A = this chain, B = another copy of it.
């Protein structure tokens, strides 16, 4: 299995998912005079759309960073990557659900669960690559792996808190999701420029 073809396939899936998200933002079917109010009523849906857009963008970025370390593939890695793509491909469903039922416990939980599952699959892949170092360009050291742990603990921990507080303060769940997204985006913007720390952001 050629690495480039897996990347092309994965990039395709990410590009499609990120673009399909808009299909669930249906235009309102109202009298022309009521259009303004109907659009304002869509704001929660538009917020979840933008959130999911950058979530998928972040996973794509993350997928690239993992893939960059890979030298050759084996079958298990391909299936693990497919599981990752599954959790990303599913994203339009919780996005749409959260847009349709804003501030509800169940959609917030499903959305957060998908975030956690996608996250954890990325971690599993990194652990797999560490173990089978003949698959990577350079062996992944234990330190590298341990340095990732706080990121996973903070992000997934916050997702779990977000799910928890949806019972009492659902707006807080949205804020936490957006906060972690923003933090990870800033973090990624910086990581790509280790040699120019002052520039990115």
Known contacts A5-B7, A53-B86; A196/B23 CB under 8 A: no
Q: How far is the CA of A140 from the CA of B93 in the complex (A)?
A: 43
Q: How far is the CA of A65 from the CA of B190 in the complex (A)?
A: 26
Contacting pair A75 B192 (CB below 8 A): yes
A20 contact from B23, B101, B132, Cβ within 8 A: B23
Minimal Cβ-Cβ distance residue in B for A12: B15
Minimal Cβ-Cβ distance residue in B for A94: B27
Q: Does A120 sit within 8 A of B, measured CB to CB?
A: no
Min C-beta distance of A28 to chain B, whole Å: 8
Contacting pair B192 A73 (CB below 8 A): yes
Binds B, one of A32-40, A144-152, A161-169, A171-179: A32-40
- For this chain, the copies found in one complex come to 4
Minimal Cβ-Cβ distance residue in B for A102: B32
From 17 to 57 in chain A, residues with beta carbon under 8 angstroms from any chain B beta carbon are 17-23, 25, 27, 29, 32, 35-36, 39, 50, 53-54, 57
Contacting pair B106 A39 (CB below 8 A): yes
Q: How far is the CA of A112 from the CA of B29 in the complex (A)?
A: 21
Q: Does A156 sit within 8 A of B, measured CB to CB?
A: no
Contacting pair A92 B20 (CB below 8 A): no
Residue numbers in B under 8 Å from A76 (CB-CB): 189, 199-201
Minimal Cβ-Cβ distance residue in B for A14: B9
Minimal Cβ-Cβ distance residue in B for A100: B27
Minimal Cβ-Cβ distance residue in B for A61: B78
From 111 to 165 in chain A, residues with beta carbon under 8 angstroms from any chain B beta carbon are 132
Minimal Cβ-Cβ distance residue in B for A31: B101
Residue numbers in B under 8 Å from A86 (CB-CB): 50, 53-54
